[in-house]
Amino acid sequence: MSQAVTLKPQATRPRAWRLNLSAYRSTMRRHEALWGLALASPWLLGLLIFVLGPIIASFYLSFTRYDVISRPEWLGMENYVRAFTGDDLFWPSLGRTFRYALAVVPLGIAGSLGLAMLLNRGLKATNVYRTLYFLPHLTPIVAMALLWRWLLHPSVGPVNYLLGHIGIEGPGWLSNPQWALTSIVIISLWAYLGGDTMLIFLAGLQGVPQELYDAAEVDGAGGWHKFLNVTLPMISPTIFFNLIIGVIGALKVFALAYVATQGGPAWATWFYALHVYRWSFEYFEMGYGAALSWIFAGILIIFTALQFSFAQRWVFYEGGEE
């Protein structure tokens, strides 16, 4: 006859002990949070003092008349109305900046993608080619502008000298209003094609699975069809990223034109950033310069939002389309 076994209930932990453990854990979390804030405080202070502070100050100053020396004088929307209706160079500089971006961004993205595809083929001395392509991007922009001013000099520049040897009379390039903007585009592309955009494309191409190319080849697809139906859809997020960065960078063009042409000749390379710089740091109308800057910020936000909206139709992600 089996003997019944009675199981004693396990001893429960005292309620006070559980409360003490919960309080200890809460204290430890607070200590960890305080240590995290303490370690991040230099960065947070830098963000508040050097980034968020100037942004808020510039927004306030955009509604004032401010010349650095005197106290800001409240004007309301007068600076913005002046920009749209009373500034003779506002619309031309904005249109010229858009023309520059429309030339540089498509050509730069297409050229960078082409170079990345060449480097992705695993040819001999690929590392050497990669270094040579990237070197122009490492050139300081002031040195690059001075170098190209000499190369494109209408009288003593090597470019016109070589063109003359083949029977072509070289233009004035940077000194000719009809060629100045084209010259700035050429210089920008020289530094753009082998730079960060090419490296980002190269990383994207190396992430395309080889199995997709093999499957397309089995189906009888040639090189062009594999590029259209495999490569482009798989690197579409990379193209989208480079497009966003490229548009923002092109619309902010400043240093190259400032050093190479000072916005001339005859305002031919007077871009929007140069316009902001003149009113802010040459005429010291900081209030109006701040208003121009915020108009530009609004334009960038609108363009970026439009690009994200249209990206839903052509950008492909592995988990679906976005």
Is residue 11 scored above 70 in pLDDT?
A: no
Is residue 19 scored above 80 in pLDDT?
A: no
CA 71 – CA 266 distance, rounded (Å): 35
The DSSP letter of residue 169 is: -
Nearest in space to 170 (alpha carbons), one of 181, 178, 161 = 161
Predicted local distance difference test score (pLDDT) of residue 321 = 44
If one counts every other C-beta atom within 10 angstroms of the C-beta of residue 250, the result is 21
Are 40 and 173 members of one domain?
no
pLDDT digits 0-9 by tens, 208-240: 988 988 898 888 888 898 899 999 999 999 999
pLDDT digits 0-9 by tens, 24-68: 677 788 888 888 888 888 998 998 899 999 999 999 999 999 998
Are 175 and 294 members of one domain?
yes
Are 48 and 92 members of one domain?
no
Average pLDDT of 273-292?
95
Residue 157 phi, psi dihedral angles, 5° rounding: -75, 140
Are 287 and 244 members of one domain?
yes
pLDDT digits 0-9 by tens, 90-120: 999 999 999 999 999 999 999 999 999 988 8
- Whether residue 69 lies inside any domain: the answer is no
- Whether residue 11 lies inside any domain: the answer is no
> How far apart, in Å, are the Cα atoms of 158 and each of 149, 151, 153?
11, 5, 8
Please list, in sequence order, all residues whose beta carbon lies within 8 angstroms of the beta carbon of residue 84, skipping any fewer than 6 positions away.
Answer: 90
Please list, in sequence order, all residues whose beta carbon lies within 8 angstroms of the beta carbon of residue 59, skipping any fewer than 6 positions away.
Answer: 290, 294
Burial of 158 (0-12, 13-18, 19+ CB in 10 A): exposed
Predicted local distance difference test score (pLDDT) of residue 12 = 52
C-alpha distance across the termini of the chain, in Å: 72
Q: Which helix (H) or strand (E) segment is 320 a member of?
A: strand 320-321
The answer to whether the beta carbons of residues 159 and 271 sit under 8 Å apart is no
Are 278 and 225 members of one domain?
yes
- Whether residue 76 lies inside any domain: the answer is no
The answer to whether the beta carbons of residues 177 and 270 sit under 8 Å apart is no
- Whether residue 152 lies inside any domain: the answer is yes
CA 151 – CA 144 distance, rounded (Å): 10
Are 44 and 152 members of one domain?
no
- pLDDT class for 1, splitting at 50, 70, 90? very low
Average pLDDT of 298-310?
91
Are 164 and 261 members of one domain?
yes
Please list, in sequence order, all residues whose beta carbon lies within 8 angstroms of the beta carbon of residue 243, skipping any fewer than 6 positions away.
Answer: 105, 109, 307
CATH number, domain of 93, equals 1.10.3720.10
Beta bridge partners of 317: 320
- pLDDT class for 132, splitting at 50, 70, 90? confident
Are 182 and 267 members of one domain?
yes
Q: What is the secondary structure of 258-272 as a DSSP string?
A: HHHTTT-STTTT--H
What is the identity of the amino acid at 271? F
Is residue 322 scored above 50 in pLDDT?
A: no
- Whether residue 142 lies inside any domain: the answer is yes
pTM of the model: 0.85
- Whether residue 126 lies inside any domain: the answer is yes
pLDDT digits 0-9 by tens, 168-199: 989 999 999 999 999 999 999 998 888 889 98
Q: How many domains does the chain have?
A: 2
pLDDT digits 0-9 by tens, 139-164: 899 999 999 999 999 988 999 999 99
If one counts every other C-beta atom within 10 angstroms of the C-beta of residue 34, the result is 10
Please list, in sequence order, all residues whose beta carbon lies within 8 angstroms of the beta carbon of residue 29, skipping any fewer than 6 positions away.
Answer: none
The answer to whether the beta carbons of residues 70 and 154 sit under 8 Å apart is no
Is residue 8 scored above 70 in pLDDT?
A: no
Predicted local distance difference test score (pLDDT) of residue 139 = 86
The answer to whether the beta carbons of residues 88 and 263 sit under 8 Å apart is no
Are 236 and 93 members of one domain?
yes
Are 212 and 302 members of one domain?
yes
Q: Which domain holds residue 99?
A: 85-321
Predicted local distance difference test score (pLDDT) of residue 318 = 66
Is residue 75 scored above 90 in pLDDT?
A: yes
CA 241 – CA 113 distance, rounded (Å): 13
- Whether residue 128 lies inside any domain: the answer is yes
Are 285 and 207 members of one domain?
yes
249 Cα distance to chain centroid: 5
Are 46 and 173 members of one domain?
no
- Whether residue 267 lies inside any domain: the answer is yes
